[in-house]
A = this chain, B = another copy of it.
Amino acid sequence: MSIEYTGITREGLSKQIADAIRTAIIDGRLMVDERLPSETELAERFGVSRPTVREALKRLAAQNLIRTQRGPTGGAFVNRLTWSEAHDALVTTATLLIGMNDIPFEEAIEARFALEAACLPFAVERRTEAQLETLRREIEQQQRGSMTDEGFCASDLRFHRVLVDAADNPVLSFQMAGVIEAMQPLMNMLTYRMRDRTRIARLHASLADALQARVTQSALAALKELGDYTLDLARARREG
């Protein structure tokens, strides 16, 4: 690891060190599962104390870039970023972003249904029987009137997640997770009347039918109607 640190001391030593190591990882100078020098060695090499090095390492650990292990064979290792970890990070970021910047409902809903529509053709083509069954199960739950609003939204979320996963493209699933899951708090703010729920469940059923028959046009039409209806609900909430 050949890292120079001729930078300015104006931005915090631990941050500089963290950035140096992160850049080394992104550029590929540090490979996955490679072991970094021990904390004391890093401290010597950068000319700082061990706590400073540790703060830098914690920053990287917070981004899932490294993992640490104790013991003689321990140390800090470059972490292979898994889909699951990246997923969590994206959802956290997107949730905070939406929660802190009061996005208009319309924008968020527009983005979500537009992107979901992009997944739909692949889902129609590649959906499995198991995924169809999961969709049917969720629809059945949504038709029961005994659910709370949160429960209904949670089922809705699971439904759409299966829809996206049916496209069988990890990159798509990863990207979509951000929009869909981060919007759950927003969706929870919509209070669904009984009539709304039955209509939504019926549209979900249309979607599942289209997927089963592998007819892209019908699926897109059902999703569009669902998006428009959600928009209506959001607008009604704003005015009401």
**B-binding residues in A (CB < 8 A):** 14, 18, 22, 25-26, 28, 32, 51, 54-56, 58-63, 65, 80-81, 83, 86, 89-90, 92-101, 103, 107-108, 110-112, 114-115, 117-119, 121-122, 169-172, 174-175, 178-179
| Oligomeric state, in copies | 2
Cβ–Cβ contact A171 & B93, under 8 A: no
Cβ–Cβ contact B169 & A107, under 8 A: yes
Interface SS of chain A: helix
Interchain residue pairs with CB less than 8 A apart (12): A14-B58, A22-B92, A32-B100, A80-B100, A83-B97, A90-B178, A98-B171, A103-B170, A107-B171, A110-B171, A114-B121, A115-B118
When distances are taken between beta carbons in the complex, the residues of chain B under 8 Å from A178 are 90, 175, 178
A171 to chain B, nearest CB (A): 4
Cβ–Cβ contact A115 & B175, under 8 A: yes
Nearest residue (CB) in B for A55 is B58
